[in-house]
Structure 1
Amino acid sequence: MNDLKIRVHQWTAEERKANEGFYAALREIWNTMIPWYQLEEPYSEKGAQRFRDQMKYGGGGWPARKRLDDIAVNIPFPSSTGAQGVYLRVFKPASASNGGSKGVYLHIHGGGWTVGSADIEDETLYRIACNTGYTVASCEYRLAPKHPYPAPVDDCLDATLYLLTPEVEEKLGPLRLIGGESAGAHLTMTTVFALRSRGIDVRTQLDAVVFNYGCFDMDQTPSVRAFKDNLVLSPVDMVNFANSWLSNVRNRQVPEISPLFQADWTNLPPAIFVVGTDDCLYDDSLFASIKWHMGCNDTLLSIFPGSKHGFCRLNGPDCDAGLTASEVFIDEHNRQSK
């Protein structure tokens, strides 16, 4: 077994100062923002929807997100549970006009299984498509509190199985990557394990998997319990997100909910774990990357000193470095060009 690869990003003094300045300014805004679970009655769908609208259209401290509706295509996918409103938001790379797509990258957005959507990250997703050469398909899945567990898990698996059908492969290309951030990284991991349990050879099917600052233990790792900051994601936020989407679950330590409790970590695809040191979910990436590696799988743990939770989506000075880390990893593991 090869050694676990760990890369600690080295900031220059100027970059470190820029990062610190960005987070200081963000903190002033963040301290004025009202969490979704305090906008209305606790764990109400109305409060969650208000927060989703703020994230999408601006308000409550959130800037309006730029949509790329002229190049994005929304494709509904069939639901095994009859769910309505689930779809893939698809971005083809600029090279695709010349037949240059390398396959499909299934992206799963974050938001604590409660907020967020597939259409608030258009610019980032199109960047990833163009920089990697893969067609990016972002999954719009059902959200808590209206749709608790297992709805998000079911929808992401359904989206994946849809992409694996011959008809869709012929239209979009073969599924080669799965990745996401935060709750999306968690759903990425549950999806990969679910595919393997169905007899799909995920190591052969997938070039790579991307886990950006994921949550892999719903009962909280030590870094969550010890975290004292409230910027972007706090232990209190984690409690409320977990209570929202696991309102109907008593045992949160089953592997289908907390993937760190999986017993078998073998025969998995190459994976990159991206995380900042100032993230309450720091241990989740550390622990999961070690288990992934101990299953004799190609694993890279990419650590960014001083970066907060969500830094690849906050448009701060450290954002590009985080995105580039996964893009480089994807390029290094693209089997179609080798």
Structure 2
Amino acid sequence: MRSDHYHPDLKSIARVLPRSPFNRLTLPTMRRLTRFAPSACEGVEVLTITPSTGARLYRPERECTHGGALLWIHGGGYVIGTAAQDDKLCQRFVRRVGVPVASVDYRLAPKDPFPAALEDCYTALTWLARLPGVDPGRIAIGGASAGGGLAAALALLARDRGEVTPLFQLLVYPMVDDRPSSRPGLESQHYRLWNEKSDRLGWQAYLKGADRQSAVPARRDDLSQLAPAWIGVGTVDPLYGQDVEYAYRLRDAGVSCELDVVEGAFHGFDIIASKTPVAQGFFARQCAALQTAFANGYVFEDGPDRLQ
């Protein structure tokens, strides 16, 4: 395997990481492990919103004066994971951006396919909009991988229902398209932690019996009148092609969108190698985008995409 496919900060760790630990055989074990993973931080408020929807609430030390908040949605291919897995990440957002963060515990496929998870995220959004100290017009929504896909779908659902209007979308290598970007057997050997086979497995579980035209963000014909967006993805990520295309479609629909492409980065690089300069820079740019949105709205200025 050639190491020059990867960013210099990621070459060493890429050599030892699996292409994907996620498949039909490992799924039951991974679900058990993530479900019972201990909390990674203190001071989090664990809340029950409805029988099917929970949230973990993280508050800044100083009260946020502008009423902003972030609704975060964890990843896991729509089939695994809990809000607790992102405790440290959400605390980092709180410290850097200075707003309360609510992380959603939503129902998982295949037991609860579409629209269960999306409806749970919408329930969390409307709950957060009613929380004391939160301005319902200043809520950013975000997530990574499947969480990013749910955030994109949530932006569409919120637009269609017209009850709460998100301020901003923070989409970190989001799963937005169930259609494969390459033919079977031709996917890259350099993917790490996620590949197109894993992607298909997650989508098949989530979309069981669903109308894909309405369930999958990239299949939606009308992307207009959505919240401004930031989309970040690495070039050694099976979601790279779909994320770039989604960013361009948002722009074509008149939606402000910044596309942040990290050369040689694989799926989940910012979590598995969080202390590397490339991961820290990636996170810093997410925080900067959120801070800009909370400060005075977020407008993408026409120009070249950000390449790192």
Under a length normalisation based on structure 2, what TM-score does the superposition of the two structures give?
0.85
Task: Assess, with a 3 A threshold, how the Cα gap between structure 1 residues 237 and 138 changes in structure 2: closer, same or farther.
Answer: same
Write the letter of the residue equivalent to 2:47: I
Query: Residue type matched to 1:127 in 2?
Result: R
Find the residue that maps to 2:101 and give its secondary structure.
Answer: strand
Distance 1:200 1:220 in 2: 34
Deviations 1:62-111 (CA, angstroms, capped at 9, x unpaired)? xx76611x310022223xxxxx2421111112323xx5574210001110
Contact 1:101 1:133 in 2 (8 A): no
How many residue pairs get aligned? The number is: 290
Query: What TM-score results when the alignment is normalised by the length of structure 1?
Result: 0.78
Match of 1:52 in 2: 31
Determine which of 37, 40, 45 is the counterpart of 2:24: 37
TM-aligned CA deviation for residue 219 of structure 1: 2.1
Residue identity (%): 22
Extract unaligned runs of 5+ from structure 1.
1-12, 40-46, 58-63, 79-83
Are residues 74 and 36 of structure 1, via their aligned partners in 2, closer, same or farther at CA, if it must alter by over 3 Å?
A: farther
* 2:200 matches 1:227: no
Quick one: which amino acid aligns to residue 284 of structure 2? T
1:192 aligns with 2:155: yes
Does residue 176 (structure 1) correspond to residue 134 (structure 2)? The answer is: no
Partner AA of 1:91 in structure 2? Y
1:291 to 220, 245, 249: 249
* Secondary structure of 2:155 counterpart: helix
Give the superposition deviation at 1:262.
1.9
RMSD between superposed Cα atoms in Å: 2.7
User: Does structure 2 retain, via aligned residues, the 8 Å contact 1:104–1:136?
Assistant: yes
Q: Which residue in 2 is equivalent to 1:4?
A: none
- CA distance 1:85–1:101, change in 2 (3 Å): farther
Residues 186 and 159 (structure 1), Cα distance of their counterparts in 2 relative to 1, 3 Å cut:
same
1:311 and 2:283 equivalent?
Answer: no
> Cα deviation per residue 1:226-276 (whole Å; 9 max; x = unaligned)?
522352111111121122222333x53x0x322112222222222100000
Consecutive unaligned residues in structure 2, runs of 5 or more: 299-308
CA distance in 2, matches of 1:225, 1:211: 28
Matched, 1:92 2:59: yes
One-letter amino acid of the counterpart of residue 334, structure 1? F
Structure 2 residue 118 is the aligned partner of structure 1 residue 153: yes
1:109 equivalenced with 2:109 (yes/no): no
Q: Is the 8 A contact 2:67 2:134 kept in 1?
A: no
Q: 2 CA distance for matches of 1:290 and 1:243?
A: 26
- Cα drift, residue 224 of structure 1: 8.9
Residue 238 of structure 2 aligns to a residue in which SS? coil
Deviates more, 1:156-165 or 1:284-293: 156-165
CA deviations over 1:14-43 (Å, ceiling 9, x no partner): x94332112223x2xx37x8535203xxxx
Between 1:155-164 and 1:176-185, the stretch displaced more is: 155-164
Q: What corresponds to 2:47 in structure 1?
A: 75
Aligned residue identity for 1:243: Q
The structural deviation recorded for 1:143 is 0.3
Select 1:129's aligned residue among 91, 94, 100: 94
Cα distance in 1 between the residues matched to 2:184 and 2:149: 15
Provide the residue aligned with 2:15 in structure 1.
24
Change (3 A) 1:262 1:337: closer
Pick closer, same or farther for the CA change 1:337–1:18 going to 2, 3 Å: closer
State whether residues 95 and 101 of structure 1, in contact with CA within 8 Å, keep that contact through their aligned partners in structure 2: no
Structure 1 residues 195-206: aligned runs within 5 Å: 195-200=158-163, 202=165, 205-206=166-167
1:163 is aligned with what amino acid? L
Whole-Å Cα distance in 2 between the matches of residues 200 and 263 of structure 1?
22
Give the whole-Å Cα distance in 2 for the aligned partners of 1:36 and 1:221: 19
